[in-house]
Amino acid sequence: MTREEEIINAAKTFEKEEGFSPIVMKAKGVNSAAGIGFLEGAVWADEHPDSTCKWSEEDEEMKRAIIDNIFILKKMFRQEEMQTDYNRMIEWLKSLKQRMEK
């Protein structure tokens, strides 16, 4: 089954349920089908996390390549701005890895 077919089947199953989730009832001013669908989709996504999303060796290699290249640029320019960008990139990569390992 393709991802598109999976989404369509999940939508058909979901629309058979009666009523809205509590978040829709709380969201005053969200009245369009798109807005309500967005809220319901966010709740559904939170309740159905993708457990197959794992940090792979390929991800680890990519992280090392990014870090190496940023380190080279940092050595070349020695600018405070570059150091800040370097630190932000490292923190982002660490947080990405932590999220994917959950």
All residues at 6 or more sequence positions from 67 whose CB lies less than 8 Å from its CB, including other chains: 89, 90, 93
Please indicate, yes or no, whether the overall pTM of this predicted structure exceeds 0.75: no
Instruction: Please give the structure tokens belonging to residue 100.
Output: 């994917």
pLDDT at 98: 76
Instruction: Tell me: do 42 and 63 sit in the same domain.
Output: no
Residue 87 domain-assigned? yes
Residue 43 domain-assigned? yes
SS3 content of the chain, % helix, strand, coil (to 5): 75, 0, 25
Residue 56 has φ and ψ, to the nearest 5°, of -105, 170
pLDDT at 75: 63
Looking up tokens 């798109």, which residue turns up?
Answer: 34
Torsion of CA 92, 35, 4, 50, to 10 degrees: 40
Residue 81 domain-assigned? yes
Residue 52 domain-assigned? no
Per-residue pLDDT of the chain (102 residues; tens, 9 = 90+): 787 888 788 888 887 887 888 888 898 888 888 888 888 888 888 887 775 666 777 777 777 777 777 666 666 656 666 667 677 777 777 877 777 766
69 lies in which domain range? 57-101
Total domains in the chain come to 2
Instruction: Tell me: do 35 and 7 sit in the same domain.
Output: yes
Instruction: Tell me: do 39 and 10 sit in the same domain.
Output: yes
Instruction: Tell me: do 7 and 42 sit in the same domain.
Output: yes
Residue 40 domain-assigned? yes
DSSP, collapsed to helix, strand or coil, labels residue 30 as coil
pLDDT at 41: 85
